[in-house]
Amino acid sequence: MHLSAFMPSRVDIFCKIVDNFGDIGVSWRLAQQLASEYGVTIQLWVDDVALAKQFAVVGHPRITLQHWHATAAFTQAADVVIETFGCELPAAYQQAMLRQRSIWLNVDYLSAEPWVESFHAQPSPQANGLVRYFFYPGFTPATGGLLREASLPALQADAQWQAVGLTAAPDLLTLSLFCYAHAPLAALVESLQHSLNPVRLLVPETIAPMLADTLGVSKLQVGERIARQNCTYYILPFLSQPDYDRLLTLCDFNFVRGEDSWIRALWAGKPMIWQPYQQSEDTHLRKLEAFMDHYLPLSTGTTAEHSLRNAMLAWAQGTWQTEHWQALLQAWPQISHHATAFKTRQSQQADLVTNLVIFIEKCLAHRV
Task: Give residue-wise pLDDT tens across range 129-154.
Answer: 999 999 999 999 999 999 999 999 99
Over residues 278-336, the pLDDT tens digits come to 888 889 999 999 999 999 976 566 888 999 999 999 999 999 999 999 999 999 999 99
Over residues 155-187, the pLDDT tens digits come to 999 999 998 889 999 999 999 999 999 999 999
At 67 the pLDDT is 95
At 144 the pLDDT is 98
SS (H, E, C) the chain: CCCCCCCCCEEEEEECCCCCCHHHHHHHHHHHHHHHHHCCEEEEEECCHHHHHHHHCCCCCCEEEEECCCCCCCCCCCCEEEEECCCCCCHHHHHHHHHHCCEEEEECCCCCCCHHHHHCCEEEECCCCCEEEEECCCCCCCCCCCCCCCCHHHHHHCCCHHHHCCCCCCCCEEEEECCCCCCCHHHHHHHHHCCCCCEEEEEECCCHHHHHHHHCCCCCCCCCEEEECCEEEEEECCCCHHHHHHHHHHCCEEEEECCHHHHHHHHHCCCEEEECCCCHHHHHHHHHHHHHHHHCHHHCCCHHHHHHHHHHHHHHHCCCCHHHHHHHHHCHHHHHHHHHHHHHHHHCCCCHHHHHHHHHHHHHHCCC
At 1 the pLDDT is 60
At 61 the pLDDT is 95
Over residues 214-263, the pLDDT tens digits come to 999 999 999 999 999 999 999 999 999 999 999 999 999 999 999 999 99
Over residues 175-223, the pLDDT tens digits come to 999 999 999 999 999 999 999 999 999 999 999 999 999 999 999 999 9
Confidence of residue 347 (pLDDT cuts 50, 70, 90): very high
- Residue 5 above 80 pLDDT? no
Over residues 10-58, the pLDDT tens digits come to 999 999 987 657 789 999 999 999 999 999 999 999 999 988 988 888 7
At 19 the pLDDT is 66
At 3 the pLDDT is 54
Average pLDDT of 85-91? Answer: 95
Over residues 114-123, the pLDDT tens digits come to 999 999 999 9
Structural domains of the chain in order of their starting residue, each with its CATH number:
10-146+349-365 (3.40.50), 152-347 (3.40.50.2000)
For the annotated catalytic residues, the residue numbers are 23, 259
At 366 the pLDDT is 79
pTM higher than the cut 0.85 = yes
Largest Cα–Cα separation, the chain: 68
